[in-house]
Amino acid sequence: MRRDWVVGGCAWLLVAGFPLGAALAQSPAPESVATGAQLYDKWWKAVPGTKAPVGDHPVWASQTTNKAKGEATWRCKECHGWDYRGKDGAYGSGSHATGFPGVLAARGKSLDELKAILKGSADRRHDFSSVLNDAALTHLATFLKHGPVDLKPLIDLKTKKAVKAEADAGKKSFDACAACHGADGATLNFGKPAKPEYVGTVARANPWEFQHKVRFGHPGSDPPMPAAAELGLSLQDVLDLLAYSQTLRDK
Ligand code: HEC
Ligand code: HEC
């Protein structure tokens, strides 16, 4: 439906002679940003039919601090962070630390430059074209350009709380989540029966992961988790949801 609208809209602009072609070309399709973000999260779950990678990512050997092995080492988020800040963010210390850079500066690059980086232009080992097709690389580049925000001023690194948020407003938005996660956020358990992980657990332990999943959805989930944009939620709404979710049951 949206595609029809875009095509119709473009035809209309041509007829009306508006010089807005460039502006339209700049604004990304929200679903492409969300798909790219899910690829950033765990690409082999985001693309149906893609196989999980085997062995460690080739760049992994250039660090020794993060002891993860195998498929985890292929997730963009494992090297660049849920906060997109790499060594300068939440993964600057602790078991996930790698010393690898973030991707916030990538927002200043063109989609072509970003796709080239994902095909190994800067570092041959950083070539994902053997495991991801061109459409997937385009979604990733679209996400890198338009999805990441600098969370440093928004979520406090130490307290893990949103700097400015209204839990009451978050409670209202949570109705949209409760349909799947339950009013207490504990209907779906992402962990194990003995060591459950609920919405409240993720919100408290990793607010950066929380904002990424809530803004863009969870790759390969059944049923598919909608992205915030599909639910009409803004970044501030997501921060409000974070504040509220941190009050929910966590074990
Ligand atoms: C194993 C670790 C690792 C993984 C996995 C990884 N990267 Fe990287 N990435 C790096 C390192 C290290 C650099 C910096 C130098 C280089 O290119 O090797 C980098 C550089 C980048 C840059 C350039 C940043 C800049 O400002 O110049 C972008 C963009 C990027 N990666 C995106 C991604 C995306 C998207 C994925 C997932 C498909 C991904 N990376 C997966 C380690 C990784
Ligand atoms: C249509 C159903 C649906 C809706 C609506 C939904 N989710 Fe989800 N969500 C899921 C499913 C399914 C998963 C994956 C569960 C799993 O991995 O076991 C998930 C995963 C998550 C996770 C990540 C768990 C992890 O692995 O770290 C968080 C956080 C989350 N949801 C929060 C929310 C919030 C907040 C909302 C409301 C804005 C929401 N969800 C709306 C279905 C939904």
Q: Which ligand is nearest to the CA of 176?
A: 2
Query: How many whole angstroms from 141 Cα to the centroid of ligand 1?
Result: 12
Lowest-confidence region among 9-23, 91-105, 117-131, 218-232: 9-23
Closest residue by Cα to atom 3, ligand 1, is: 79
pLDDT for 26: 61
Q: Is the CB of 188 under 6 A from ligand 2?
A: yes
pLDDT of residue 8 exceeding 50: no
Write out pLDDT tens, residues 84-111.
999 999 999 999 999 999 999 999 999 9
At residue 35, φ and ψ (nearest 5 deg) are -65, -45
Other C-beta atoms closer than 10 Å to the C-beta of 246 total 22
Q: What are phi and psi of 240, to 5 degrees?
A: -65, -40
> What average pLDDT does this structure show over 186-195?
96
Q: Which two structure tokens, joined as six digits, stand for 75?
A: 């997730």
Instruction: State yes or no: pLDDT of 211 exceeds 60.
Output: yes
Calculate mean pLDDT across residues 62-86: 98
